[in-house]
Amino acid sequence: MKKLVISLVLVNLLAACASNKPAETTGGTAASGASSAGASTKAASAAQTAGDPLNDPSGILAMRSVYYPFDVDAVQDADKPVVQAHGKYLAANSNRKVRLEGNCDERGSNEYNLGLGQRRADGVKKMLELGGAKSAQLESVSYGEEKPRSSGHEEASWSQNRRTDIKYAK
């Protein structure tokens, strides 16, 4: 009986993943015991995660970095829709938390880059709050030049390193 219930849950989960809809879990009978209830809970949790727009690789929420020109800390017009979408998502999902990581290219002193990275992260934080996110959901930090995305020493690399990363807590 346990195998049957678990199989039904897995079939529902696979069907939900294929159709991109939340799975309907089947309730276990008293004979199925706690094991099937645990499987149902895990399947329901997996189905909920699958339907979460944050996990859609083609959606705007898949974009998790905001980029800047040289020596600028204001969010650029091209990236505003991304930040606004994350603000809206956080407003609707008050249980989610984000760490905003400000980064810079290698030019400038360590002290200057740490300050610029913090201003970048704080600017995104302010936009997220304006979009509905609560302050308690957000943490902003600066890594300055310490976490480059690209290791080159030319504009193409530097442009990838001037960013704020939006990192969701697991």
Specify the pLDDT at position 43: 46
How many other C-beta atoms lie within 10 A of the C-beta of residue 155? Answer: 10
CA distance 123 to 136: 16
Cα–Cα–Cα angle for 50, 167, 84, rounded to 5 degrees: 85
Q: Give the up-direction half-sphere exposure of residue 5: CA atoms within 13 A in the CB hemisphere.
A: 20
Cβ contact 79:48 at 8 Å: no
Specify the pLDDT at position 97: 98
Specify the pLDDT at position 158: 97
CA distance 131 to 150: 30
Specify the pLDDT at position 6: 38
Cβ contact 124:155 at 8 Å: no
pTM over 0.75: no
Specify the pLDDT at position 170: 84
Q: Which residue is it, tokens 């083609």?
A: 58
Residue 45 burial (10 A CB sphere; 0-12, 13-18, 19+): exposed
With a cut of 70, list the residues of the chain below it in pLDDT. 1-50
Specify the pLDDT at position 49: 58
